[in-house]
Amino acid sequence: MSTIAETGSRRQTRSSMRVDGWRWAGRIFLLLMLLYTAVPMIWMLITSIKSGFAATQFPPQWWPDEPTLASYRKLLDPQNSVGQDFLRFFWNSLFVSTATTILSVIVAVPAAYAFSRFTFPGRNFLFFAVLLRNMFPAVIFLVPLFILMRAIGLVNTHGSLILTYLTFGLPLAIWLLKGFYDNIPVQLEQAARIDGATRFQAFIMIVMPLSTPGIIATAIYSFIGAWNEYIYAYTFLSKNDQLTLPVGIQRFFSENTTDFPGLMAASFMMSVPVVVLFLVLQRYFVRALTEGAVKH
Amino acid sequence: MAHVVLKDLVKTYGSFKAVNDVSLTVNDGEFVALVGPSGCGKTTTLNLVAGLTSITSGDIVIGDRVVNDLDPKDRDIAMVFQNYALYPQKSVYMNLAFPLQMRRLPRDEIDKKVKEAARVLDMTHLLERKPRELSGGQQQRVALGRALVRDPAVFLMDEPLSNLDAKLRVQMRSEIKRFHQDLKATIIYVTHDQLEAVTMADKMAVMNGGFLQQYDSPAQVFAHPVNMFVASFIGSPAMSLIPLEISTANGGTVLTSAEGWSLGLSPRNVQKVTKATTKKIVLGARHSTIKLHKSAVPGSIPAKVYTVEPTGDVTFVQAFLSGAIVNVSVPPNIAVTPDERIWLEFDQERMHLFDGETEMALEAS
């Protein structure tokens, strides 16, 4: 009896040791990944509070001798020409991204709902046609879209970017949201319609609240995509006062000698809205990605 | 409450006829079960009555109104769904209040009605919970309550018990039956479980392949199935159906099997088989109308035991007979073993005879 118990416990120890080994390997791997992703950002932050001279020193100062917020002050100062430009780029980016997000939600919600709930001729074809755009690298469409934008007189307007970003963002948004609507039992709407709601009321009062996480996730995707986009913004816009942040930062700081602390401060501030958005809404975001993966 | 009339109801999807010329009348206060195997058109029929699906042709009358083109909300119906369809983001209270809010009732009246429904269904303590915090049985009750608060003309129920476990199902079955008796409500109830239909309904509409097969009281359907489908679908274990042929022996009409034996018929049954359009006859017998003998007796037929299923108070014996499997019930004290040779005796009064070609029941006159 005791021998059996001993053998059992020994076997258990060995297997738990093996599990522990894997667990530690996993932890070390995660730690390395963390360093890999976090160190550049930390370095960006540290550089942004250095003076211009300290930033280019070798060997580098791991922590600046004289930390300074001068770069930030300069960027956020509306009196300063650098600050004027930066703030204008920031607002341009915010405008383009927000407009893209709002429009893509407005279009994607009814589109996804229709794909999920209605059967109509060409439904499958249309649904895959929506994805066709995402099967090619974005750059392929650069020249055709530029020619198109020139033809309709949208070059050098934010409208050209908003339209372009919608063509990237919408397919994904529609797919994501359709998955959400597929997961909401159609009986809920039927129950609402029997309980006295019109079809539209059933959608607004029952389906919409349930799909909020999906809509938020979709909105974040669209926003981040538009906020970070570089190539199209670089191609379609040439007037200084219209540039968005990714292009603006690059143009501004590499004209003569590069002001590295300034560049890093600007980069940091550019990432702030995305990070804040993500932190506030990540709960919904994660749920959206896993929703529909399994049947509950 | 109101009566419901379906007149020549048809629903087609492309070339597929889901509901085929269904006509039936549900009287005021009647409990009618639509029963049939999956895909028989029973749920589609219910959705047509609810207005969730548009009809291809025919008429639906609720009360005295033709409701063909009315929205579900204007038909004065309430529905209980198989998956309950409770609004997950709303509390039980708000779930019950929703149909009343949509009808713009004053707030204090809504409150009164919701609390009354909660009291009747014994779930006052659950009012503040969300549906996901409830057990399956409680969710079922809320779904029932949401139909109840409205005081509708007709209750529609789409397999409301099939998501519950066996014990709860039996309990809810009697609750719904009681609820019908107390309210004198008109109920149309869809189920694939013939036992639910038989135990609860005043009348049952047996459907198959989009067609209404038989519409009558459960007792009538059980005793006089109109065709082989109804005969085999209603009753558990299923009625045994044995393919035989008419022939004459010693001047009388008998049914003979390919196995060589023949079965004499009572005068009444002889009358029935003469109505057949073909020589092929199918003999139908329920398990309780067949006697099992351990040795040959006059009029009995030899068979071989296939399986023995004791259930406690009755033992079901399955036997091979003329290529068909025959269900026989015997008292538990009779020992039968698989592959044993037995003799079966059919009750002439209670046997069913079907035309082998048309599959319709044969009647004496």
The model's pLDDT over A150-203, given as tens digits with 9 standing for 90+, comes to 999 988 899 999 999 998 888 888 988 898 898 888 899 999 999 999 999 999
The model's pLDDT over B27-48, given as tens digits with 9 standing for 90+, comes to 999 999 999 999 899 999 999 9
Q: Give CA A294 to chain center in angstroms.
A: 24
| CB-CB under 8 Å, A190 with B79 | yes
The tokens describing A17, both together, are: 């040791």
Q: Count the Cβ atoms, other than its own, within 10 Å of residue B321.
A: 23
State whether B212 and B136 are in the same domain: yes
The tokens describing A28, both together, are: 């070390």
pLDDT of A29 over the 70 cut: yes
| DSSP H or E stretch at residue A279 | helix A260-290
B113: left (phi over 0), alpha (psi -120 to 50) or beta: alpha
- Which of B193, B227, B261 represents a domain boundary (last residue)? B227
Task: Answer yes or no: is B364 within a domain.
Answer: no
Please provide the average confidence, as pLDDT, over all residues in chain B. Answer: 92
State whether B63 and B115 are in the same domain: yes
A206 reaches B (C-beta below 8 A): yes
The model's pLDDT over B23-32, given as tens digits with 9 standing for 90+, comes to 999 999 999 9
State whether B116 and B245 are in the same domain: no
pLDDT of A273 over the 60 cut: yes
Bridge-partner residues for B244, per DSSP?
B281
Closest-CA residue of chain A to B103: A196
Sign of the torsion angle spanned by Cα atoms A136, A140, A142, A148:
negative
pLDDT of A56 over the 80 cut: no
- Return phi, psi of residue A57, to 5°: -65, 145
- Give the pLDDT confidence score for residue A253 in this predicted structure: 62
Q: Which of A192, A196, A198 sits opposite B103 (nearest CB)?
A: A196
State whether B184 and B285 are in the same domain: no
- Return phi, psi of residue B241, to 5°: -120, 120
What gap in Å lies between CA A206 and CA A193, rounded to an integer? 10
pLDDT of A269 over the 70 cut: yes
B94 reaches A (C-beta below 8 A): no
- Which of B166, B193, B227 represents a domain boundary (last residue)? B227
| CB-CB under 8 Å, A187 with B85 | yes
**DSSP structural state of residue B192:** S
ipTM, two decimals, is 0.83
- Give the pLDDT confidence score for residue B340 in this predicted structure: 92
User: Which one of A194, A204, A291 would you mutate to disrupt binding with B, by most B Cβ within 10 Å of its Cβ?
Assistant: A194
pLDDT of A243 over the 70 cut: yes
Residues of chain A with C-beta less than 8 angstroms from the C-beta of B88: 188, 210
The tokens describing A292, both together, are: 């529909």
What gap in Å lies between CA A45 and CA A260, rounded to an integer? 11
Task: Answer yes or no: is B167 within a domain.
Answer: yes
| Radius of gyration for the alpha carbons in chain A, expressed in angstroms and rounded | 26
What gap in Å lies between CA A22 and CA A41, rounded to an integer? 29
B243, B324 in Cβ contact below 8 A?
Answer: yes
**Per-residue pLDDT averaged across A46-70, rounded?**
80
Distance from the Cα of B135 to chain A's closest Cα (Å) equals: 15
The CATH number covering residue B172 comes to 3.40.50.300
B80, B158 in Cβ contact below 8 A?
Answer: yes
Distance from the Cα of A106 to chain B's closest Cα (Å) equals: 23
Residues of chain A with C-beta less than 8 angstroms from the C-beta of B82: 187
A196 reaches B (C-beta below 8 A): yes
Quote the percentage of chain B above a pLDDT of 70: 100
pLDDT of A290 over the 60 cut: no
A187 reaches B (C-beta below 8 A): yes
State whether B80 and B223 are in the same domain: yes
The model's pLDDT over B166-182, given as tens digits with 9 standing for 90+, comes to 888 888 899 899 889 98
pLDDT of A132 over the 60 cut: yes
Distance from the Cα of B196 to chain A's closest Cα (Å) equals: 23
Distance from the Cα of A183 to chain B's closest Cα (Å) equals: 13
Buried/exposed code over A178-198 (b: 16+ C-beta within 10 A; e: otherwise): bbbbebbbebbbbbbbbbbbb
Residues of chain A with C-beta less than 8 angstroms from the C-beta of B77: 194
| DSSP H or E stretch at residue B354 | strand B352-355
Residues of chain A with C-beta less than 8 angstroms from the C-beta of B160: none
State whether B17 and B164 are in the same domain: yes
Question: Where would I find the H helices in B41-193?
Answer: 42-50, 92-102, 107-120, 136-148, 166-183
State whether B30 and B164 are in the same domain: yes
B270, B253 in Cβ contact below 8 A?
Answer: yes
Helix (H, G, I), strand (E, B) or coil at A276: helix
List the B252-256 sheet strands across, edge first. Answer: B262-264, B252-256, B240-249, B280-285, B352-355
- Give the pLDDT confidence score for residue A26 in this predicted structure: 92
**Per-residue pLDDT averaged across B258-265, rounded?**
88
The CATH number, out of the four listed (1.10.260.40, 1.10.3720.10, 3.50.50.60, 3.40.50.2020), of the domain defined by the range A76-290: 1.10.3720.10
Least trusted range by pLDDT, from A39-53, B59-73, B197-211: A39-53
Range of the domain at B159: 4-227
What gap in Å lies between CA B340 and CA B354, rounded to an integer? 29
List the B65-66 sheet strands across, edge first. Answer: B16-26, B4-13, B57-62, B65-66
Distance from the Cα of B201 to chain A's closest Cα (Å) equals: 23
